[in-house]
A = this chain, B = another copy of it.
Amino acid sequence: MKQEDVPSPTVRRLSLYLRELETFLTSGQVTVSSKQLGGVLGLSDAQVRKDLAHFGQFGQPGVGYHVEALIRRIRQILGTDRTWNVLLVGSGNLGRALAAYRGFARKGFRIVAVFDNDPAKIGKLVSPEDGLTVRPTHEMPAVAERLGIQLGVLCVPAQMAQQVAEDMVNAGVKGIVNFAPVTLNVPPGVAVAGVDLAVQLEQLSFRLSSDRPTW
């Protein structure tokens, strides 16, 4: 099974399965059926089975899937059965909030460096508990190499985003979560996941604006 053969909707759902499975594990449930898992996520049981079947057979007919084993398996598939060092660029309101966000660490992502070009921000503490301070952007390549960083979070204003993305790529970053509301142009081999906050509201606005007289 090659990675490219896995439908990307399946990969997206894998993250959701993992999230729900962790809830099942906490609640002490040992096994889970495709029907149960699909149920909480609003998916069909067949969907869940097809998704998991892409990676081998590890359910027990008549019983379901072993929660703990399935969690381990999905982590392995997603590549989160390890810790990833992550850098973050842009220590504005959003950047600082993300740098302090505990949810990343729980999933195996550690933000180990924060960069910004605003001289007023350099040296400032962004995350009290791990003593993370803001560094000037030009240090990015050296720091990224030293800490083996391949993932980055970009939260600078839109007009700087493309330039900063290029800096990140030059520093060796291979995957970027982009919070700036622009389309980034990156070389092949670099993956971008865009999170445009306003876009989410627009989608909801569309659903609420139903039954227009005529389009």
Contact = CB atoms under 8 A, between A and B. Distances in A.
Copies of this subunit: 2
Contacts of A181: 19, 103
B109 A201 contact: yes
B215 A183 contact: no
A175 B205 contact: yes
Nearest to A109: B201
A50 interface: no
Contacts of A23: 182
A202 B86 CA distance: 12
A63 B3 CA distance: 42
A115 interface: no
Interface stretch (A132-140, A163-171, A189-197): A189-197
B182 A19 contact: yes
A60 interface: no
A94 B206 CA distance: 25
A151 B193 CA distance: 25
Interface string A99-142: 01101101111000000000000000000000000000000000
Interface residues of A, number: 69
Given A20-B183, A96-B97, A84 B3 contact: no
21 contacts: A3-B212, A19-B183, A19-B199, A40-B183, A42-B183, A55-B215, A78-B205, A78-B209, A92-B97, A96-B97, A98-B197, A104-B198, A107-B202, A109-B201, A151-B205, A153-B201, A174-B208, A175-B205, A177-B200, A191-B203, A195-B197
Given A18-B202, A94-B97, A103-B198, 13 more contacts: A15-B196, A15-B199, A19-B199, A94-B98, A94-B101, A104-B198, A104-B201, A153-B201, A174-B208, A175-B204, A177-B200, A195-B195, A195-B200
* Those 9 A-B pairs whose CB atoms lie nearest each other, nearest first: A79-B209, A175-B204, A93-B97, A97-B97, A107-B198, A79-B205, A193-B200, A15-B199, A1-B215
